[in-house]
Chain A
Amino acid sequence: MGRNLFDTVWDLHKVRTLESGQDQLFIGLHMIHEVTSPQAFQMIEERGLKVLHPERTFATVDHIVPTANQERPFQDKLAEEMMQAIENNTKKHGIEFFGLNTDRQGIVHIIGPELGLTQPGLTIACGDSHTSTHGAFGAIGFGIGTSQIRDVLATQCLAISRPRVRKINVTGTLKKGVYAKDIILKIIAELGVNGGIGYAYEYAGETIRGLSMEERMTICNMSIEGGARVGYVSPDETTIEYIKGRPYAPAGDEFERAAEFWRSIASGPDAEYDDVFELDANTLEPMVTWGITPGQAVGVSGRLPRVAELPDEHKEIADKAYAHMGFTEGQAMQGQAIDIAFLGSCTNGRISDLREAAEFLKGKKVSPSVKAFVVPGSKQVARQAEAEGLPEIFTAAGFGWRGAGCSMCLAMNPDKLQGRQICASSSNRNFVGRQGSPTGRTLLMSPVMVAAAAVAGQVVDVRNQI
């Protein structure tokens, strides 16, 4: 039987087996941002260590960056302090930093791919759980904690146990109005928010093969929402074509050799897996979350579950969700009023997301009851959108057009829900308090569903509108 990509890439990077039984794994690309790295620099400095491979770490700022006014110094003194810390740390240790004064700043999981830093066959680590995004290229991306950032800075390695690999085979054709976001929300709803613990997810099958790189990134991004630390897609011609010509990609003859290597590591048709899960894309509909975990999602035409009918292990969290959201068992999500529409994040803040939403919004107006805004995932996404005239479409429709950052996905910046506001959001987490108000409410959905909800003032089935 053949090998899957995960095992091939892992073995390439395995330095040795440690006494604990974990593997020492070399990290090919390390990305850092301002929230989880300052303590790691402090730790290595306290121990008199240096950064072993500063040329393999790249930094940006995203979480705390204001999106309305990016003038320095930031009004928020704490945010300014964090900004200065990453500026100082990267300068001191010789790490390339894509700051606000460059045209390459943006959400860490958006800039890695767009700069060509993210490549097949790499191990990639970042102190952020959505590092699984980079797996869309056939890399192995790990979200890590700050002590592990310390390890990568000091040793370019992680001490880590090899997970099992589950193939998620998606077949069939997506219907109009159904997107990559709906595929991953369905997978999480089916396998559970803890179903992926101890697994890497390989997304495969004809449906995945037919997706663009940006769509594959959306799916891999939310692997962690299903408990899987790693999610990936084997590289193919779509991957190779995407990387070609990007600033940090190999060029010329080296690119041809690289492409040959990338093709060689893809999982073969007879590759072995620890588990396989099948998903039929033909029957998928737009998904909307109704609760407080990303697994609490229903098809937009469906009704919310009755707690009594749920498996025992889901009852308590469903009760909590109903208490927080104020929804009624058996109600439909269609017609649910919203207050805020947020388009952005590392899940859905890429150029294709903005194009699709803008296409839908042409000639339409945001409901007067809704505040809507779009936050490009990076400066390059913003630049491209500007070149295509997208900001004009958004602003004509009544969407605010902002600077690049994480924004209201996690609200570590001025973009926050107020009170019990309900937000139609293209982001990745609907946890209680996630969007900045302890009583705020989040409905996760695809970017086009967010645009449609903004216009209607309520959740609608986008399939009836396009």
Chain B
Amino acid sequence: MPEIHIKVSSVEGKAVPIHGNDIDTDQIIPARFMKCVTFDGLGEYAFYDVRHDEDGNLKGHPFDEERYADASIMIVNSNFGCGSSREHAPQALARCGIRGIIGESYAEIFAGNCTSMGIPAVTLSPDEIKQLVAAVEKDPGMTVKIDLAGGVVVAGPHRFHFEIPSAYKQSLVDGSWDSTAVLLANLDAVKQTVASLPYLNGFQRAG
């Protein structure tokens, strides 16, 4: 299979707001649905316990609202994706069609997992998120665009400059977000590091 090398310079589509700070990965994908050896079937379990009551009936969640059907951009608040490192969380979201996330802030491992799947997770200020959510709630059909190369989120008349760690932006834009090939490209340098690490060389004093 060829290495994945897809440039993600922008993502656009309808957006769905998910309200709340500190939404943890146990909420995004409850642990009991991680009993699997592939990520394939995770989509239907995204936010399962927030979407369903104990009898399995829908409780009313943005993911189930007609007006947000086919949304590919998710708008979130602060510390989204905290808790467990499970990549099952962004994998489940991706299988629900999510291709980009705009939020106030993210847990570090979650943001890294998104990037290594080619999903940009960009940051706006709380006030900008409020404006963006209001705009999307008013007109759910509106196209929201994360223009990675340009560094802006565009939604109708709104234009917000977002933040994203420069390394994440760079790797998405140049298509090196699937890091295996990048890391494999310089195995000689890895060998040099191995040769210099005390614990791989009997703790012999260097020089």
| Residue B165 CB within 8 A of the other chain | yes
Q: Could you show 8 A-B contacts with beta carbons less than 8 Å apart?
A: A18-B182, A21-B170, A146-B87, A161-B165, A224-B109, A260-B203, A431-B83, A438-B54
Contacts of B190 in A (CB 8 A): 15, 24, 26, 155-157
Residues of B within 8 A of A (CB): 1, 3, 20-22, 24, 26-27, 30-32, 34-39, 49, 54, 78-79, 82-88, 90-91, 105-109, 112-113, 116-117, 165-168, 170-171, 174, 176, 178-180, 182-184, 186-187, 189-190, 192-194, 196-200, 202-205
**Which residue from A128, A155, A160, A227 sits with its C-beta under 8 Å from B79?**
A227
**A216 located at the interface, meaning its Cβ lies under 8 Å from any Cβ of chain B in the complex:** no
A13-B193, A47-B1, A121-B198 in contact; A257/B87 too (CB < 8 A)? no
Which of A35, A81, A433 lies in contact with B27, CB distance below 8 A?
Answer: A433
In the complex, given contacts A19-B182, A148-B113, A431-B24, what are 8 additional A-B residue pairs having Cβ atoms less than 8 angstroms apart? A16-B186, A19-B174, A20-B176, A28-B200, A79-B35, A82-B36, A143-B109, A145-B87
* Contact among B27, B171, B200 with A20 in the assembled complex (CB-CB below 8 Å): B171
Query: What CA separation (Å) do A105 and B116 show in the bound complex?
Result: 31
Closest to B84 in A: A129
> For the complex, is A279 an interface residue (Cβ under 8 Å from B)?
no
Tell me whether B105 and A412 are in contact (CB under 8 A). Answer: no
Q: Which of B165, B176, B179, B193 interacts with A151 by CB under 8 Å?
A: B179
Residues of chain B within 8 A (CB-CB) of A411 are: 31-32
Chain A contacts to B: CB under 8 angstroms:
12-16, 18-22, 24, 26, 28, 35-36, 38-39, 42, 44, 46-49, 52, 63-64, 76, 78-79, 81-82, 85, 119, 121-122, 127-129, 131, 143-148, 150-151, 154-161, 163, 193-194, 197-198, 224, 227, 229, 250, 254, 257-258, 260-261, 293, 313, 316-317, 320, 410-412, 429, 431-434, 436, 438-439
Write out the residue numbers on chain B whose beta carbons fall within 8 Å of the beta carbon of A151: 179-180, 183
Instruction: Look across to chain B and name the residue whose beta carbon is closest to the beta carbon of A153.
Output: B180
A38 engages B37 (CB within 8 Å): yes
Q: Would A19 and B183 be within 8 Å (CB), given that A146-B87, A193-B22, A197-B107 are in contact? A: no
Instruction: Give the distance in Å from the alpha carbon of A12 to the alpha carbon of B200 in the complex.
Output: 12
Q: How far is the CB of B27 from chain A (nearest CB, A)?
A: 6
Q: Which residues of B contact A412 (CB under 8 A)?
A: 31-32, 34-35
Report chain B residues within 8 Å CB of A194: 22, 78-79, 82, 105, 107
Q: How far is the CB of A357 from chain B (nearest CB, A)?
A: 25
Q: Are B183 and A250 in contact, CB atoms less than 8 angstroms apart?
A: no
Give the residues in chain A near B189, CB-CB below 8 Å.
15-16, 24
- Closest CB-CB distance, B152 to chain A, in whole Å? 21
Q: Which 10 A-B pairs have the closest CB atoms?
A: A145-B87, A145-B113, A257-B203, A78-B35, A147-B116, A38-B37, A155-B183, A194-B79, A143-B85, A129-B85
- Tell whether A227 pairs with B87 under 8 Å between CB atoms, given A119-B199, A313-B21, A431-B24: no
B49→A438 contact, CB < 8 A: yes
C-alpha spacing A411/B109, complex, angstroms: 22
* B168 partner residues in chain A, CB cutoff 8 A: 20
Q: Which residue of A lies closest to B19 (CB)?
A: A316
A431 close to B174 (CB less than 8 A) = no
User: Beyond A194-B79, A194-B82, A431-B24, is A261–B203 a contact (Cβ under 8 Å)?
Assistant: yes
In the complex, A150→B192 CA distance in Å?
22
Which of B36, B179, B197 has the most CB atoms of chain A within a 10 A radius of its CB? B179
Query: Does the CB pair A48–B1 fall under 8 Å?
Result: yes
The answer for the CA separation of A178 and B143 in the assembled complex, in Å, is 54
- Structural contact, A12 and B196, CB atoms closer than 8 A: yes
Interchain nearest-CB distance for B46 vs A (Å):
14
Complex formed: what's the CA distance from A46 to B108 in Å? 28
Question: Does B20 lie within 8 Å of A320, measured CB to CB?
Answer: yes
B176 touches A19 (CB 8 A): yes
Cα A148 to Cα B108 in complex, Å, equals: 13
User: Judging by beta carbons under 8 Å apart, are B180 and A47 in contact?
Assistant: yes
Query: Whole-angstrom distance between the alpha carbons of A128 and B34 in the complex?
Result: 13
Instruction: Find chain A residues with CB under 8 A from B108 CB.
Output: 163, 197-198, 227, 229
How many whole Å from B204's CB to the nearest CB in chain A? 7
Which residues from chain A contact B183 at a C-beta distance below 8 Å?
A: 24, 151, 154-155, 157-159
Given contacts A147-B113, A258-B199, A412-B34, contact A20 B170 (CB under 8 A): yes
**Taking the nearest CB of chain B, how far is it from the CB of A50, in angstroms?**
11
Q: Which residue of B lies closest to A264 (CB)?
A: B198
- Asked if A42 contacts B83 (CB within 8 A), the reply is no
Could you tell me the distance in whole angstroms from the C-beta of B185 to the nearest C-beta in chain A? 9
Contact of A313 (CB < 8 Å), options: B78, B167, B192: B78
**B27 to chain A: which residues have CB within 8 Å?**
431-433
Which chain B residue shows the least CB distance to A196? B108
Q: How far is the CB of B25 from chain A (nearest CB, A)?
A: 9
Asked if residues A154 and B82 are in contact (CB atoms below 8 Å), the reply is: no
Contact indicator B176/A433 (Cβ below 8 Å): no
